[in-house]
Structure 1
Amino acid sequence: MGTSRGPVAGPFVVVLAGVVIGAVPLLLGDVLAIFGADGAPTVGLGIGGALVVVGVAASLLPSFTTELGVVAIVLSLLSVFGALGGLLVGLLLGVVGGSLCVAWQPSAG
């Protein structure tokens, strides 16, 4: 009588990574502009928002969790160029969350 629940930890960590990656360019936009990254807030918000959407989608669509996990890993790696990877914290969270999504398997119940 058990129901197959979707993944929880992976999508949560991916959403957290998206928030961190999106917040860093907003908080440090002026500092990033000094180093020549003028478009960093836009790119950081775009990648952060995409990671939030991927995390929510992975939670709501368990059949696509593996593919969405790969997308989360790729977006996290790309965040290095636009948002310094959320000071590397967002990068690590995104890779770990994406890996948890890829590794998730539905219960055999």
Structure 2
Amino acid sequence: MRSELSWARWGRWRRSRPFWGGLVSLAGGLTILLLPANYFTVLALPGVAGLAGFLLGGLIAAMGPLSWFLPEQRVVLGIAIVLLALASFVYSNLGGFLIGMLLSIIGGSLAFAWKPSTQGSTPPHSQPSPTPGTYP
């Protein structure tokens, strides 16, 4: 009984924010952050490319969960995620070998496109259709 209640709460929380956009953005940001840096140690970073990978990947990875906790800022965060992902292509080893860049673009687009559900509206199929020959 208790687990059913917690799963229901989890489902309501997840549907009330751009969950999938934030999750995919987080995965893309971590890919940009960790995939190219995996071959380098902390003492021998490759200069600007290493720093840009850490900076851009870290910002994208932070903006993903930020879209969960600030769903009213989803438009700004979605645009910023996509722009940072495009910048990572140039500045960070082809954007995490294209995988991180593509994941971040998809996640930012999902966060941008998400809309909160309206609680008071009825689904279109439950509204009665007008009778033929009548005008509103």
TM-score over 0.5 for the alignment? yes
Runs of 4 or more consecutive aligned structure 1 residues displaced over 4 Å after TM superposition: none
Name the counterpart of 2:96. 86
Decide which structure has the larger Cα Rg and report it: 2
Query: What is the CA–CA distance in structure 2 between the aligned matches of 1:105 and 1:41, rounded to whole Å?
Result: 36
Name the counterpart of 1:54. 63
Q: Which residues of 2 match residues 1-109 of structure 1 at below 5 A?
A: 5-29=16-40, 38-83=47-92, 84-109=94-119
TM-score (norm 2): 0.69
Query: What is the CA–CA distance in structure 1 between the aligned matches of 2:47 and 2:36, rounded to whole Å?
Result: 10
Instruction: Select the structure with the greater relative contact order (CA < 8 A; seq sep ≥ 6).
Output: 1
- Deviation of 1:29 (Å): 4.6
- Please list the CA deviations of residues 30-73 of structure 1 after superposition, one character each: whole Å capped at 9, or x if unmatched: 9xxxxxx6321111010011001111111100000111000000
When structure 1 is superposed on structure 2, of 81-90 and 65-74 the one drifting more is 81-90
- What is the aligned length? 103
User: Quick one: percent identity of the two aligned structures?
Assistant: 32
Please say if residues 18 and 52 of structure 1, whose CA atoms lie closer than 8 Å, have aligned partners that are also in contact: yes
- Please list the CA deviations of residues 17-38 of structure 1 after superposition, one character each: whole Å capped at 9, or x if unmatched: 11000012212459xxxxxx63
Structure 1 segments unaligned to the other structure (5+ residues): 31-36
Please say if residues 25 and 40 of structure 1, whose CA atoms lie closer than 8 Å, have aligned partners that are also in contact: no
- Please list the CA deviations of residues 72-101 of structure 1 after superposition, one character each: whole Å capped at 9, or x if unmatched: 000000001221211000110011001101
Please say if residues 70 and 102 of structure 1, whose CA atoms lie closer than 8 Å, have aligned partners that are also in contact: yes
Q: Residues 78 and 29 (structure 1 numbering): CA distance in 2 closer, same or farther, change over 3 Å?
A: farther
TM-score (norm 1): 0.85
- What's the RMSD between the two structures over aligned residues? 2.1
| Higher fraction of helix | 1
Query: What is the CA–CA distance in structure 1 between the aligned matches of 2:17 and 2:78, rounded to whole Å?
Result: 13
What residue identity is the alignment partner of 2:100? G
Structure 2 segments unaligned to the other structure (5+ residues): 1-11, 120-136
